[in-house]
Structure 1
Amino acid sequence: MGSNNSIICTGYSRLPDGMAGKNLYGVFGVGFEIDPQTDKIMYTSSTFITDVCTDFLNTIFEGHCIADGINEQVKTFESRYFGLGKKAISMAIKDAYNQYLIYASTKSS
């Protein structure tokens, strides 16, 4: 984490009522730190209240080449996460991926 050459792609989604994070943030955020040379995700951060949930996301995404897409990782998350806001969290992940796609389109220009 914290490479001088890394990039950050973030995504956000509204949280549903009943989630503790909604009172603090209003939205759920996911950030991918990516090595632009390899397109591998170096670290994943989120606005989960508990570190265990952020660490859980990190274990799913760390080391994955984001250029290969994220469908399998999202499926893994959705099949293993049992808490409120699953849809909102998945949307934030997809939003971060879309930000990567925007970056990638400028990188190849």
Structure 2
Amino acid sequence: MNNENIVFIAGHARLPEGMAAQSMFQTLTVTAEIERQYGVILQCSCTLATDHGRDFINQMFRGYSLKNGIDAPIRAIHSNYSGKAKNAIIAALKDLYSQYTTLPTTDS
């Protein structure tokens, strides 16, 4: 793929003790393909242990524009996700957003 308008970003956070994913990874990672001009999340994944969990995170975050900030995706997590990894997902998403805000702009 040769598309300079798409950027791949990863955010990381520490996992809580006692999770299935914690035995495989010490951290939770949320990754996203983001359309650079509008900041829209095209695809999103994470290191949750199940395919179902990873698919759910993708469906929950896909379509959000990071140009509008991170509050709406965080509210979506609070409203729609109930699991031990909730705080880690939020922290990883905040880290991802922090990385997004440091990208060079493509404004001409």
Instruction: Give the TM-score, by structure 1 length.
Output: 0.88
Question: Quick one: which amino acid aligns to residue 78 of structure 1?
Answer: H
Q: Which residue number corresponds to residue 3 of structure 2?
A: 4
Shift in Å at residue 58 of structure 1?
Answer: 1.3
- How many residue pairs get aligned? The number is 106
Give 4+ residue runs of structure 1 displaced > 3 Å after superposition. Answer: none
Q: Which residue number corresponds to residue 99 of structure 2?
A: 99
Q: Which residue number corresponds to residue 32 of structure 2?
A: 32
Deviations 1:66-107 (A, max 9, x none): 11112111111122111112111110111101100111xx21
Q: Partners of 1:10 and 1:81 in 2: how far apart? A: 20
Shift in Å at residue 3 of structure 1?
Answer: 6.7
Q: Which residue number corresponds to residue 21 of structure 2?
A: 21
Structure 1 residues 101 and 18: alpha-carbon distance in aligned structure 2, compared to 1, 3 A threshold: same
Q: Partners of 1:93 and 1:39 in 2: how far apart? A: 14
Q: Partners of 1:90 and 1:78 in 2: how far apart? A: 9
Deviations 1:12-70 (A, max 9, x none): 01111101111111100001101113221100010011111111111121111111112
Pairing 1:46–2:64 present: no
Aligned alpha-carbon RMSD (Å):
1.7
Q: Partners of 1:7 and 1:15 in 2: how far apart? A: 25
In structure 2, list runs of 5 or more residues that go unmatched: none
Structure (1/2) with the larger helix percentage: 1
